[in-house]
Structure 1
Amino acid sequence: MARRVHDLTLERAPTLGAGRLVCVDGPAGSGKTTLAAALADLAGAAVVHMDDLYDGWQGLPRVGAQLDGLLLPLSRDEPGTYRRYDWLREEYAETVTVAPSPLLVLEGVGSGSRAHAVLCTTLVWVQAPDGLRLHRGLERDGPELEEQWRSWMVAEAEHFAEQGTRERADLLVDGTGRSAPLPA
């Protein structure tokens, strides 16, 4: 699937200054990070994870300012920045600078927001069943975070409904590990 995303993206004109932006969006635990890593391996793409931009479990509605600081300068072929959130300390840590590059992958819930759609070359939607996503999340983050995970799942569903992210996607990807993409 990474090859398909890469090829489609290269068929399109640059949208992020002289570079291209792939937004890999979809619900938490669906397989977005796996796809982003495959794109990085295939194409040497730079990857930014949305998890580093949220200011905690309730941070999805406030992530737009972080995306502005990252994407707007890159659209002018200037370095973009964001403050990396430290989930263990529950506060922002250092400022991260992202240099312009031929291909940037922005991975995570909210990466395909309407506010920055004009800068996105290819929007990919990754999905998997809720039960599998929750299982993956709790396996990664620990069972003590189940309440936060369930709350996040509600918040992201509201976000996706408001943004129409899946409906605007260029590609739909089955994040269960099956080889065939989802039908459009």
Structure 2
Amino acid sequence: MIIILIDGQSGSGKTTLARELAEETGFQLVHLEDFYPGWAGLAAASQMVATDVLHPVQPGFWRWDWERNQRARWVPIRAHTSLIIEGCGAVTGASISAAEAVGTVITVRILGPETTRRQRALARDPGYAPWWEMWAAQERVHFSGPGHVAVDHVLGLA
């Protein structure tokens, strides 16, 4: 079983790369965006990757209902299947350890200039604009805080 963890700031191209890899490999694709617990939930979702998504017996996650701003249904993940997990917060020491416990791990981080990333993110989702600064602050903590780890591959904007 192979686990590919793709991390990067908003608008860097994580989802595009992950979709292309999933199409080429047939790996199951998991988006953190499906379970961030709201706009202040980057750190919580990072923990959920290690504890829920990569659970060795019952992997899955609680989908987040963005319209109601509440936890929604449980989404099971096929056990013992190769995965691509993408989203800001996907790569932490805990997620790498959890992934190593169930398979071979490849980590990727995508980098890009803020102006380009912001333009791409807001073109995709104009409703994101009021939350950009709040989310960017969480990204800065994630990429410079104690959970920050080295990755196998660093790429430019995808």
Match of 1:110, SS state, is coil
**Alignment match, 2:142:** 159
Can you list the C-alpha shifts for 1:99-124, whole angstroms capped at 9, x where unaligned? 12442000001110111212250100
- What is the CA distance between 1:59 and its match in structure 2? 0.5
Q: 1:44 to 1:88 in 2, by over 3 A?
A: same
* Counterpart residue number, 2:12: 30
Q: CA deviation at 1:34?
A: 0.5
Q: How many Å separate the matches in 2 of 1:23 and 1:138?
A: 24
How far off is 1:65 after superposition? Answer: 4.7
Please state if 1:141 is matched with 2:125.
yes
Once the two structures are aligned, what percentage of the paired residues are identical? 31
* Residues 47 and 95, structure 2, Cα contact 8 Å, conserved in 1: no
The 5-angstrom pairing of residues 32-181 of structure 1 reads: 32-67=14-49, 68-73=51-56, 78-118=57-97, 119=99, 121-142=105-126, 144-162=127-145, 163-165=147-149, 168-175=150-157, 177=158
Deviation at 1:70, TM superposition (A): 1.9
For structure 2, the 5+ residue unaligned runs are none
What secondary structure does 1:63 align onto?
A: helix
Give 1:61 deviation, angstroms.
2.1
> Are the counterparts in 2 of residues 66 and 83 from structure 1 also a CA contact under 8 Å?
no
DSSP-derived class of the 2:55 partner: helix
> Larger Rg: 1 or 2?
1
Provide the rounded CA distance (Å) in 2 between the counterparts of 1:53 and 1:39: 21
| Secondary structure, counterpart of 2:40 in structure 1 | coil
* Root mean square deviation, CA, Å: 1.5
Question: Taking structure 1 as reference, are residues 32 and 52 closer, same or farther at Cα in structure 2, changes over 3 Å only?
Answer: same
The 3-state SS of whatever aligns with 1:56 is: coil
Q: TM-score, normalised by structure 2?
A: 0.88
Equivalent pair of 2:35/2:45 in contact (CA under 8 Å)? yes
